[in-house]
A = this chain, B = another copy of it.
């Protein structure tokens, strides 16, 4: 079961890295910029999570994610043209990556801190912080905070929240993990299909 999680995780890293690499291509950056912006969404959120939890940074312990992100950056560098026309496919893969990242992040934070509040915050951080850094480096307001994004952080919040709830109710392990991942993915998918968005403040 954890093998399946590992392959999902690498798939999430791959797709997140492509999102960053494509942003770099769109900004006309060079190969180094493409690599850095591929790494940010792929490992940035998890790095902040591990630093805040005072745990060994996951890509120091095992460099799999780095290699996968580098391969994604290289492929994007070579085939950027073809990838852009497959944006629709990428959005769904990205939703899967987000669902996985936020739940795995929440699980780790819950084990270390014991606080559902911290678990939800760092679950969302794992899912979205790398993308925020990507957008900040690209000199843009982060996509995840804009009204034109469909429940991105919200999906991560629901995923992390459902995991904490199930853990609290005693459904530990794979059941809680997959239920939470399904919740996050469904939330994001429905929001994209139905056009759901978070409101702005009343002014």
Q: Are B141 and A132 in contact (CB under 8 A)?
A: no
Stretch at the interface among A8-16, A180-188, A193-201: A193-201
A25 at the interface (CB under 8 A from B): yes
- Are B141 and A138 touching (Cβ within 8 A)? yes
CA distance A137 to B132 in the complex (A): 8
Q: Which residues of B contact A121 (CB under 8 A)?
A: 66
Copies of this chain, complex-wide, total: 3
A141→B27 contact, CB < 8 A: yes
Identify A28's interface contact among B59, B139, B147, B149, CB under 8 A: B147
**Interface size range of chain A in the complex:** 35 or more
Are A203 and B146 neighbours in the complex by a CB distance under 8 Å?
A: no
Least Cβ–Cβ distance between A54 and chain B, in angstroms: 7
A36–chain B nearest beta-carbon distance, Å: 6
Which residues in window 1-39 of A have CB below 8 A to B?
Answer: 24-25, 27-34, 36-37
Closest 6 pairs (CB-CB, A-B) = A33-B145, A30-B198, A32-B153, A80-B201, A31-B198, A25-B201
Q: Interface of A with B (CB < 8 Å)? A: 24-25, 27-34, 36-37, 47, 51-54, 56-57, 59-60, 63, 66-67, 76-78, 80-81, 113, 115, 117-118, 121, 132, 136-142, 144-147, 149, 152-154, 197-203
A–B complex contacts, Cβ < 8 Å, 10 sampled? A30-B145, A30-B147, A31-B198, A32-B154, A33-B142, A34-B201, A54-B54, A54-B56, A78-B201, A80-B203
